[in-house]
Amino acid sequence: MAADNFTKIEEGLGKLLDGYEHLKTENVLLKNSLLSKDAEINELKEKVKTLEREKALVKEKVDVLINRLDSLMQGA
């Protein structure tokens, strides 16, 4: 009877340790994935900033061209 209880405890502890190892491995994988996603987010934020600057420059140039066209149209 005591041997059966000890065996059950041993099996339960084995399952618990296996589960722990699985979760530990999964945690490492998730942390690595999170670091990768954080790096990707930072890269995309930089791209957005660059595109916003380019957009502002293009808008400025278009505004200048529109003003020049308006001046030409008024002079015609």
Distance of CA 4 to the CA centre of its chain: 51
Q: What's the DSSP call for residue 76?
A: -
pTM across the whole model? 0.67
Residue 1: per-residue pLDDT:
74
Residue 3: per-residue pLDDT:
83
Q: What is the mean pLDDT of residues 53-75?
A: 96
pLDDT per residue as tens digits for the range 20-29: 999 999 999 9
Tell me the pLDDT band of 70, cut-offs 50, 70 and 90: very high
| Spatial CA neighbour of 36 closest among 24, 48, 28, 25 | 28
pLDDT per residue as tens digits for the range 1-27: 788 888 999 999 999 999 999 999 999
| Spatial CA neighbour of 43 closest among 55, 54, 53, 35 | 35
How far apart (Å, rounded) are the C-alpha atoms in residues 73 and 76?
A: 5
